[in-house]
Amino acid sequence: MKKILTFLFVVGLLLTFRAGEINAQERCLVTQGEALIVKGDVPAARMEALARAKWAAIEQVVGTAIKAQSFVENFMLVDEVIKTQIGGVVKKYDVLAEERKGENLNVKVRACVEPLKAQEAVSQVSLNNSVALMIPARKPGKGQEEYEETNILSETILNKIIEQGYRAIDVTPTHTVEAREIEEALKSGSTLLVRNLIYKFLSNIIIIGKVDYHLSTKKGEDIGYGLAMPFNNVTVRLSFRIVAKNENTGNVEILFAGVEEAKAMASSLEDAAAKALFQLAERVTPRILDQLAHFTQRNTKNIRVKINGVSDGETTLEIKRMLQGIVWVSEVRETGPGEYMVKYSENSLYLANSIQQKGDFTLNSFSPYSLTFSLATK
């Protein structure tokens, strides 16, 4: 018996090492990147196009559903940040072709990416204020496995979240996950599914839940004294969790877990369930928004922004106004000529990206709590 256990243990270790080996094996793919040639600077455009091509390879390896290109303008910035914080994501690359079309430069590359580091790189650009929502609802009167992917509850919550200025997406209709997987994740408390969704949707906040219903009293059912129930009486129940990635530790943590229910009556089973879902949405949405606001406040940090080349008060004030106009900046305080302390609740990468898009600024150094730029002389 002892020999058998030893053998099984050794086999288990070998399988574990083999799985790690496979996961660590680099994947090589052909991707393209494009950049605008500004003021005839072809080398700068080439570097930008290469950065975009390499990032496209990273996203393909991870299998992202949301592309970072939709909200990151400067991929040279992303490239530098990823190189600094996570070395060796793209192990090597070869330029296969380069083509200029007017003011655009396109490059085709063959890039080799390490999968584990690619996941880490993608999580580095995930947004603090992006919410992925997954709340399928079981269809009334249907089989146990039939769910409404988009329903009254999920739509109401989604709209309220967007009204508050968050980026939000209903994941369920994308078929990235199934209702059964969500149910298992809720029961087990596993964060594996959540981690995968962070990679795919670049969201640091996940709202995961499932709606079920119970027919308390059926229409026509005898309720005593010779009377029949004139309506269907339905109870809908939501089990949900709000899960987020801790930006400082990188760990996934549960912000909130709960169960809510609501009851309603109507002639048809579907109408009764719909009414109950409306009530449930009214009840649970404020609690969800409170948790999102708490998470945003907790992630607000002071970032030192230094702009070299600023010597006069007028320019200092002009830059301050520019910083105050950036989304998710809550406060800007001058600490010296061209130096500011900025309260910002998003990933620092996006503050750097926004500043570069606002004027003639060149990023000299980056860290999560300090950004240094040079202001181009006119």
pLDDT digits (tens, 9 = 90+) for 75-113: 888 988 888 878 889 999 999 999 999 899 999 999 999
Per-residue exposure over 184-196, b if at least 16 CB sit within 10 Å of its own CB, e if not: ebbeeeebebbbb
Determine the 3-state secondary structure of 316 from DSSP.
helix
Contact 78, 90 (CB under 8 A): no
| Model confidence band, residue 20 (pLDDT cutoffs 50, 70, 90) | very low
pTM (2 d.p.): 0.81
Confidence of residue 375 (pLDDT cuts 50, 70, 90): confident
pLDDT digits (tens, 9 = 90+) for 173-186: 888 877 777 877 77
Name the 3-class secondary structure at 86.
coil
| Residue 222 pLDDT level (bands cut at 50, 70, 90) | low
Domains annotated for the chain, with CATH where assigned, are 25-124 (3.30.1660.40), 127-297 (3.40.50.10610), 301-375 (3.30.70.100)
- Is the distance from CB of 112 to CB of 88 less than 8 angstroms? no
- Which of 267, 258, 165 has its CA nearest to residue 219? 267
